[in-house]
């Protein structure tokens, strides 16, 4: 596919990565895009580049519109390599454009590339007059890295916030209204796996943007589709996700060695669902951790079950909890159950992980030795029932 014009003189010139299936531990079954935007006018500006293997694709798209040598400014909103990876190739092809970034962005780029660029360092609120247009920069530390920055096209009312509001989705469509509601599932997974730990900063940044009173017609993130029809929808969703808005939904997340923990998990699920709560059973080696985390986003209760292996939790549970700890999913209640043979230990280890992460723990626990008998299955159903009631 070729370039796409967002508004007169503002183009998408990025790259589509149809084949990426793992994005630093996040499963991307639908691929992704690396979005770069070209602003053509009295002065020409490229906003962000793409991952290195796609630098030729980026240059080809720019060349469909204009000679890349005519670009005056390259904006590096974020130093991470999926957006700045092609900076050396692009800068060398253009000549010696001014590279606009934050102080921290320069630090990152210096470390990555070990070569100088013709930098202009900007701070929040600074503007860049382009003659027929104005750009305003807004530093957005931790969205996604300390160096991150948003670029706002004042006259066009387009916000280019880099990683914020993105989705990992490779498609020929470029706008969210061309895909419909399906986009929200991709946006939720992206938020849960990338931005969830930054929820307090997101609320602060949204508040700051609202107070600035800047009108936003479009949001062009650095991954996935451009929010054109209703940019307010994704902003509102970010606010709700960051506030920890949940529904009465319970996940029973488990692994099993000989089927005992699975027996308990299914009985617990039965108890949870009796009062009509939405409930899901998620086996840790069948579901990717990043898909489970997406399910967690709007769930109020999480029940974790593990068999005991070598006096500790099952390795898949260790992997999952290590991942979850970093995401800091506050506002949820966690409950624990284990099965064990000769000696326990899984529950103790899971509890330690959750306490270290300062997550809310239900004080009731379920431990069963060997294969659960009929009475223990009844206890497991009651355990699920009690957990669902607690969430009311």
* Residues acting as catalytic residues: 24, 78, 80, 82, 144, 163, 190, 223
Nearer to ligand FEO, 83 or 263 (CB): 83
- Could you give phi then psi for residue 97, rounded to 5 degrees? -70, 160
Smallest distance, ligand FEO to C-beta of residue 72, A: 25
Stretch touching ligand FEO by CB under 6 A, among 76-84, 86-94, 245-253, 384-392: 76-84
Among 144, 186, 289, 379, binds ligand FEO (CB under 6 A): 144
User: Residue 220: how many CB atoms within 10 A of its CB?
Assistant: 30
In sequence order, the β-bridge partners of residue 280 are 251
Smallest distance, ligand FEO to C-beta of residue 221, A: 9
Give, as ranges, the residues between 257 and 296 that touch ligand FEO (CB under 6 A).
none
DSSP state of 39: E
Helices (H), the chain: 55-65, 81-84, 87-94, 103-113, 182-190, 199-212, 231-243, 260-273, 289-296, 315-327, 346-356, 374-390
Stretch touching ligand FEO by CB under 6 A, among 74-82, 205-213, 232-240, 335-343: 74-82
Binding to ligand FEO by residue 49, rule CB under 6 A? no
Nearer to ligand FEO, 83 or 228 (CB): 83
Among 101, 222, 273, 277, binds ligand FEO (CB under 6 A): 222
Stretch touching ligand FEO by CB under 6 A, among 75-83, 119-127, 203-211, 308-316: 75-83
Binding to ligand FEO by residue 78, rule CB under 6 A? yes
Decide: 326 and 197 in contact? Cβ < 8 Å: yes
Each residue of 99-131: b (16+ CB within 10 Å) or e? bbbbebbbebbeeeeeeebebeebeeeeebebe
Stretch touching ligand FEO by CB under 6 A, among 47-55, 79-87, 224-232, 282-290: 79-87
Q: Structure tokens of 164?
A: 């914020």
Token pair 């002065």 is at which residue? 43
Among 17, 139, 163, 338, binds ligand FEO (CB under 6 A): 163
Q: Structure tokens of 369?
A: 């030795």
Smallest distance, ligand FEO to C-beta of residue 181, A: 24
Q: Structure tokens of 289?
A: 């951790």
Among 17, 48, 57, 82, binds ligand FEO (CB under 6 A): 82
Binding to ligand FEO by residue 139, rule CB under 6 A? no
Binding to ligand FEO by residue 93, rule CB under 6 A? no
What residues have CB less than 8 Å from 387, skipping those under 6 apart? 250, 268, 271, 272, 301, 303, 333, 335, 362, 364
- Residues binding ligand FEO: number (CB under 6 A): 9
DSSP secondary structure letters along 284-339: TTTS-HHHHHHHHTTEEEEEEEEEEETTEE-HHHHHHHHHHHHH---S-EEEEEEE
Binding to ligand FEO by residue 379, rule CB under 6 A? no
Smallest distance, ligand FEO to C-beta of residue 83, A: 6
Nearer to ligand FEO, 222 or 273 (CB): 222
Nearest to 225 by CA among 148, 171, 163, 150: 171
Residues that bind ligand FEO (CB under 6 A): 78, 80, 82-83, 144-145, 163, 222-223
């Amino acid at each position: 596919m070729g370039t796409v014009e967002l508004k007169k003189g503002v183009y998408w010139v990025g790259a589509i990565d149809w084949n990426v299936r793992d994005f630093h531990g996040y499963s991307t079954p639908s691929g992704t895009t690396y979005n770069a935007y070209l602003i053509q006018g009295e002065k020409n500006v490229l906003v962000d580049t793409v991952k290195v293997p796609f630098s030729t694709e980026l240059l080809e798209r720019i060349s469909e519109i204009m000679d890349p040598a005519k670009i005056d400014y390259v904006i590096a909103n974020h130093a991470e390599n999926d957006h700045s990876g092609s900076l050396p190739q692009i800068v060398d092809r253009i000549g010696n454009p001014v590279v606009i970034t934050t102080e921290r962005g320069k630090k990152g780029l210096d470390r990555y590339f070990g070569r100088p660029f013709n930098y202009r360092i900007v701070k929040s609120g600074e503007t860049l007059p382009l003659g027929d247009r104005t750009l305003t920069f807004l530093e957005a530390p931790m969205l996604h890295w300390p160096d991150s920055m948003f670029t706002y096209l004042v006259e066009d009312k387009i916000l280019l916030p880099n990683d914020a509001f993105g989705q990992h989705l490779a498609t020929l469509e470029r706008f969210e209204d061309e895909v419909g509601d399906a986009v929200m599932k991709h946006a939720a997974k992206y938020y849960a796996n990338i931005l969830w730990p930054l929820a307090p900063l997101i609320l602060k940044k949204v508040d700051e943007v609202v107070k600035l009173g800047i009108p936003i017609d479009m949001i062009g993130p650095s991954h996935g589709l451009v929010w054109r029809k209703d940019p307010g929808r994704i902003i509102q969703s970010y606010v709700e996700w960051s506030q920890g808005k949940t529904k009465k939904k319970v996940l029973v997340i488990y692994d099993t060695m000989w089927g005992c923990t699975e027996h308990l998990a299914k009985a617990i699920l039965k108890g949870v669902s009796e009062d009509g709560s939405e409930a899901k059973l998620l086996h840790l080696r069948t579901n990717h951790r990043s898909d489970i985390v997406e399910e967690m986003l709007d769930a109020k209760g999480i029940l974790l079950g593990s068999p005991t292996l070598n006096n500790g939790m099952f390795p898949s549970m260790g992997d999952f909890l290590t991942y979850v700890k970093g995401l800091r999913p506050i506002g949820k209640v966690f409950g624990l159950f284990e099965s064990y043979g000769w000696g326990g230990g899984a529950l103790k280890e899971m509890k330690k992980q959750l306490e270290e992460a300062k997550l809310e723990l239900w004080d009731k626990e379920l431990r069963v030795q060997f294969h659960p008998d009929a009475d223990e299955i009844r206890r497991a159903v009651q355990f699920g029932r009690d957990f669902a009631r607690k969430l009311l």
